[in-house]
Amino acid sequence: MLLRAWQPEDAAQRYEGFADELCQRYSWSLVEPFTEAHIRAAYERDEQDRLSGDALNVAIADAGKPGRVLGAMSVYDVNASEQRAAIGYWLAPWARGQGLATRSLRLLAGWTFAHLGVQRLELTCAPDNVASARVAERSGFVREGVMRSHLRFKGARRDTVLFSLLPGELTAV
Ligand SMILES: CC(C)(COP(=O)(O)OP(=O)(O)OC[C@H]1O[C@@H](n2cnc3c(N)ncnc32)[C@H](O)[C@@H]1OP(=O)(O)O)[C@@H](O)C(=O)NCCC(=O)NCCS
């Protein structure tokens, strides 16, 4: 796989991958109903965030077929003065179960430490998102605990598990 910038022509695959039931359960799109128009708008927003240094959203693509979208990675909540950022990901249903999230997380986490001067990288997931927690732990993230009632989520409130990774803790790619 490779990590690359999103392109406007990725919209249909980006929508299809993220509209999947598991992504919608754990990585809420913040808009309901979620449509392909939101994905098209995301392309503009991604570029603004990248230029402002607030976030970096990239596609996980098939290295042999770069037009084939496998998932997404984001570095977000970049706080340059505190040297801190957060990282997140999703995989399309057709790309799961092959260790691609772990490999992508290690690559982007390593890049973030090397290029953004970050000294602490945070990762959060829902308490029952076992696959995501395993991806975090396999990459070297340390589970710090549960933030109770942390998020407004789908009309209710939800707990969140917090993980962190410090420079030197990333496991080898
Ligand atoms: C989280 C996600 C990226 C993981 O990718 P994946 O390719 O499915 O992960 P894998 O198949 O490599 O599984 C990772 C680990 O979780 C375990 N796992 C996967 N699904 C599981 C389940 N339902 N219950 C228990 N364990 C599970 C696997 O056995 C594996 O364990 P191991 O490290 O001990 O081998 C993917 O499930 C996804 O896109 N989910 C929806 C979006 C999402 O949750 N994003 C993260 C938000 S925090």
Q: Whose alpha carbon is nearest atom 32 of ligand 1?
A: 134
Which atom of ligand 1 approaches the CA of 100 most closely?
7
Chain segment 152-172, per-residue pLDDT in tens: 888 889 999 999 999 999 987
Predicted confidence at residue 33, as pLDDT, reads 73
Domain ranges of the chain: 2-165
Predicted pLDDT at 160: 97
CATH 3.40.630.30 is held by the domain 2-165: yes
Query: For the segment 87-116, what is each residue's pLDDT rounded down to a tens digit?
Result: 999 999 999 999 999 999 999 999 999 999
Q: Which residue has a Cα nearest atom 45 of ligand 1? A: 90
Residue 122 β-bridge partners: 86, 164
- The SS3 assignment for 60 reads strand
* Ligand 1 closest atom vs CA 135: 14
- Residue 91 CA to ligand 1 center (angstroms) comes to 9
pLDDT of residue 173: 63
Cβ 164 vs Cβ 121: under 8 Å: yes
Residue 34: predicted pLDDT: 77
Residues lower than pLDDT 50 in the chain: none
Strand 156-165 with 65-79, pairing: unpaired
Distance 81 CA to ligand 1 centre (A): 33
> How far apart are the C-alpha atoms of 56 and 27, rounded to whole Å?
17
Residue identifier of the C-alpha nearest atom 16 of ligand 1: 131
Which region holds residue 65: left if phi is over 0, alpha if psi is between -120 and 50, else beta?
beta
Relative to the CA of 137, which ligand 1 atom is closest? 33
Q: Ligand 1 — pocket residues by CB below 6 A? A: 22-23, 26-27, 88-91, 96-97, 99-101, 125, 129-132, 134-135, 138
Q: What's the pLDDT score for residue 40?
A: 85
How many angstroms does the Cα of residue 110 sit away from the middle of ligand 1? 21
End-to-end, the C-alpha distance of the chain in Å comes to: 13
